[in-house]
Amino acid sequence: KQVVLKEYVAAGFPKESHFGVTTAAINLKVPDGSNAVAFKNLFLSCDPYMRSRLSPPVHRDGADETDPEFSPFRIGAPISGLGVSKVVDSGHPDYKKGDLVWGGTAWEEYSIIENPKGLFKIPDPSVPLSYYTGILGMPGMTAYFGFYDICAPKKGEYVFVSAASGAVGQLVGQFAKLAGCYVVGSAGTNEKVELLKNKFGFDEAFNYKEVDDLDAALKRCFPEGIDIYFENVGGKTLDAVLLNMRVHGRISACGMISQYNLEQPEGVHNLMTIVYKRVRIEGFVVTDYFPRYAEFLGKMLPWIKEGKIVYVEDFAEGLENGPAALLGLFSGRNVGKQVVAVARQ
């Protein structure tokens, strides 16, 4: 079974009708003498960046068009992303039957890959394997390096996180507490706001959909201003945050999901704040940090095992429910990290 792209999304929100689920026969026995590996795909990661790959192939400023991980999907072919897989047969010296890996994965039940590259061996299967799509995978590294490296937090600083209950945001909030900061999160439902306060330990949280005046809401939460903003949504939120930044504040520009389905990005009006408050805004792409995976794991695995960091996941069961799960990221349907469970083992 595969999830294929039927049609590019020229503008606006993608719909389930852009995708199809097809079946094809596959021979899982790798030919003798080949360096191919046959994988059973267990968990697939739904990630906001995948929206850009649904757009037709045109030049986009700043995007590396040569990188197949970020180039548009091909019509009629399975879409791909990150996931957790198990080796079921291998002709490759680095992989043997039963090995567990995470990395680039097609949205299909089984894959055969010639000479696989860039996959991470799963070092510790005693934690839930789905964690390698989230807290122990790409979103975990995004939160970790995007917060610690880009923001250099100090004890007592004031931190704001948007899309705070999601795959990345829930971790940033917990890291901020570990660093001794005061942290506030925004999210799109009251259920998520409860999670932020009662599960992830945010000091304060609000539902941005129920707030008429974001600037006033931020002033209530941060009477002394914001030292660190972890930017996940962009648009009106960024504009309101800019009005509330403190001198020498830092903004980690991680993503701007509110803009991904717009034909024209919204304008940002309060940029002068950057000058007179000496604010540093720094973007980053997590793949630059992949060589530091071992360092990241060295921190995260103990934190998970000691109960210092918790993680909430949202499972869609079965490949056929994958498209709806992916699209749900753009309406806020997911509560926590959105995963597609293709097979549990």
**Shortest gap between Cβ of 31 and ligand NDP (angstroms)?**
37
Contact 339, 44 (CB under 8 A): yes
Beta-bridged to residue 235, according to DSSP, are none
Residue facing ligand NDP at closest CB distance: 166
Which listed residue (334, 340, 341, 342) binds ligand NDP by CB under 6 A?
Answer: 334
Contact characters 166-195, ligand NDP, x per CB under 6 A:
xxxx-----------------xxx--x---
DSSP state of 162: S
Q: What is the rounded distance in angstroms from the CA atom of residue 12 to the CA atom of residue 135?
A: 30
Q: What is the rounded distance in angstroms from the CA atom of residue 180 to the CA atom of residue 55?
A: 41
**Shortest gap between Cβ of 87 and ligand NDP (angstroms)?**
26
Residue 278, phi-psi category: left (phi > 0), alpha (psi -120 to 50), beta (remainder): left
Q: What is the rounded distance in angstroms from the CA atom of residue 157 to the CA atom of residue 174?
A: 14
Contact 255, 146 (CB under 8 A): no
Closer residue to ligand NDP (CB): 5 or 163: 163
Using the rule CB under 6 A, give the single segment among 20-28, 107-115, 172-180, 324-332 that binds ligand NDP: 324-332
CA dihedral of residues 82, 87, 88, 91 (deg, nearest 10)? 120
Closer residue to ligand NDP (CB): 145 or 222: 145
Closer residue to ligand NDP (CB): 4 or 256: 256
Closer residue to ligand NDP (CB): 113 or 286: 286
Tokens, residue 113: 């890959």
Q: What is the rounded distance in angstroms from the CA atom of residue 272 to the CA atom of residue 223?
A: 20
Which listed residue (163, 172, 241, 242) binds ligand NDP by CB under 6 A?
Answer: 163
Neighbours of 83 (CB within 10 A): 26
Binding residues among 198-217 for ligand NDP as defined by CB under 6 A: none
Q: What is the rounded distance in angstroms from the CA atom of residue 182 to the CA atom of residue 203?
A: 6
Estimate to the nearest angstrom the gap between the alpha carbon of 36 and the chain centroid: 29
Closer residue to ligand NDP (CB): 35 or 259: 259
Closer residue to ligand NDP (CB): 79 or 87: 79
Which listed residue (8, 70, 148, 284) binds ligand NDP by CB under 6 A?
Answer: 284
| Binding flag, residue 285, ligand NDP (CB under 6 A) | yes
Closer residue to ligand NDP (CB): 251 or 254: 254
Which listed residue (49, 70, 148, 293) binds ligand NDP by CB under 6 A?
Answer: 49
**Shortest gap between Cβ of 247 and ligand NDP (angstroms)?**
26
Using the rule CB under 6 A, give the single segment among 20-28, 68-76, 215-223, 329-337 that binds ligand NDP: 329-337
| Binding flag, residue 233, ligand NDP (CB under 6 A) | yes
Closer residue to ligand NDP (CB): 110 or 311: 311
Q: What is the rounded distance in angstroms from the CA atom of residue 129 to the CA atom of residue 345?
A: 9
Contact characters 130-149, ligand NDP, x per CB under 6 A:
---------x--x-------
Neighbours of 123 (CB within 10 A): 12
Tokens, residue 231: 């930017």
Q: What is the rounded distance in angstroms from the CA atom of residue 48 to the CA atom of residue 71?
A: 14
Closer residue to ligand NDP (CB): 196 or 226: 196
Q: What is the rounded distance in angstroms from the CA atom of residue 37 to the CA atom of residue 335?
A: 34
| Binding flag, residue 290, ligand NDP (CB under 6 A) | no
Cα distances from 316 to residues 68, 324, 325, 339, in angstroms, run: 26, 9, 6, 6
Can you give the binding site for ligand NDP, defined by CB under 6 A?
A: 47-49, 139, 142, 163, 165-169, 187-189, 192, 232-233, 254-258, 284-286, 329-330, 332, 334, 337-338
